[in-house]
Structure 1
């Protein structure tokens, strides 16, 4: 087992695969079903996540992407059955919106004990062909598990969450987590971000599984984040360039 990754069991058929050694503390999720497995995001790409996944399932693996940002698609290079939301298909093929120099600056901005085989000079943003497109309300079936696509733009135009219908799990990507919620990049939209939070607030969610930082968070955080965005909107502050606002367990950067 690669010691770059930490594996934590969510339930008997669901695993979080995390990169706690890096400041981003990314989480990817492996869902094992009756006939196939689903991997939600693949992390930074500095370690081989497929080696970890292969120790957890021998079923066919489908990879899906919460959004096409460097810290969520890095390990896509190890897989050949990959899906992204329709709005961001060009980002993953030819037109990633953030320069490599900015990505590397983010990757290396805090001290980190990277895997010994990793060479930051050779690091590249994943760009490649995808196997299928995801759309609003698509349902991915694993045989005994059904995962619905929820379009939640704001952090990026094609950001999506995945709602597992039977378990009422929300795989929330960069929409809901404890930490700084980013809506300050040119490709982000704080107003859409707010509306996406309101959208997932309407779901019956028993467990939120975020893409960064604290793994075990309360579904009540959805309501807290909604309140934070609403306060900024109603006070006229929900405008890009206004800076960082702190709300206890989370911040909003616009």
Structure 2
């Protein structure tokens, strides 16, 4: 069992080749995930960028790392600049290169610096904080398969929270990594200009039909949700459509285990 004590990150070993790297000292409670194969490793998202997540991945593996970006929002691309191989869905290539659309830097700096409960590193300066921008190594599409040696990951395009949002299914373990499409405690966001309520509900329906899911790992809050939640998701999709709620301005809709805000 790996035991890493760190001043900013919390590391939890999910199994002998899978690790959650969490930032519980920030109100977002962001999770990134390291999946180790026999030939390569995959890092799903790189966190807030308040501190350098590479410090943790270097302690967990010496294999070459591929970064798979669930979506190009500041809280998931914070340490992208520390890695050579970065992949993003084709619909958010422009966001990664030219910046996140319709989100002012003033708002980002306000959000990254508020409600922090543990000391931040001296290198973190909110006033000059800027999300990563750069060219990706490659682009992802729906249905792509990533082989890392005795471990195959399937890419699902799941837009709604953002245009190029993806979910990632680990076929060998049954783990479904849902980024900001599905998590608990706080609402899933689909109420700001770059979101799409219709696409979000379509994406929720899409993941609810993925077979052999054993565990759900969202990008925020509780670490590891029971796969039975996908049944609740299926019911929620039906209810939202039948009640004509899938549109901007209808508010927060609560279901058993999760909620959505349009």
**TM-score, normalized by length of structure 2?**
0.93
Are 2:72 and 1:64 aligned? no
Aligned to 2:53: 49
Which of the residues 216, 220, 224 maps onto 1:208? Answer: 216
Structure 1 stretches lacking a partner, 5+ long? none
Which of the residues 178, 181, 192 maps onto 2:199? Answer: 192
CA contact 1:2–1:51 (8 Å) conserved in 2: no
Q: Secondary structure at the match of 1:233?
A: helix
Mapped partners of 1:111, 1:2: distance in 2:
16
C-alpha displacement of 1:214:
0.2
CA contact 1:176–1:222 (8 Å) conserved in 2: no
Aligned to 1:174: 180
Which of the residues 74, 78, 83 maps onto 2:82? Answer: 78
Mapped partners of 2:19, 2:168: distance in 1:
15
Aligned to 1:151: 157
Mapped partners of 2:257, 2:50: distance in 1:
28
C-alpha displacement of 1:114:
4.2
Q: Secondary structure at the match of 1:74?
A: coil
CA contact 1:209–1:216 (8 Å) conserved in 2: yes
C-alpha displacement of 1:92:
0.4
Which of the residues 123, 130, 134 maps onto 1:128? Answer: 134
Which of the residues 228, 232, 236 maps onto 1:228? Answer: 236
Aligned to 1:19: 23
Mapped partners of 1:106, 1:248: distance in 2:
28
Aligned to 1:243: 251
CA contact 2:69–2:77 (8 Å) conserved in 1: yes
Structure 2 stretches lacking a partner, 5+ long? none
CA contact 1:62–1:82 (8 Å) conserved in 2: yes
**TM-score, normalized by length of structure 1?**
0.96
C-alpha displacement of 1:133:
0.7
Aligned length: 254
Aligned to 2:14: 10
C-alpha displacement of 1:129:
1.5
C-alpha displacement of 1:218:
0.9
CA contact 2:215–2:227 (8 Å) conserved in 1: yes
Name the Cα RMSD after superposition: 1.3
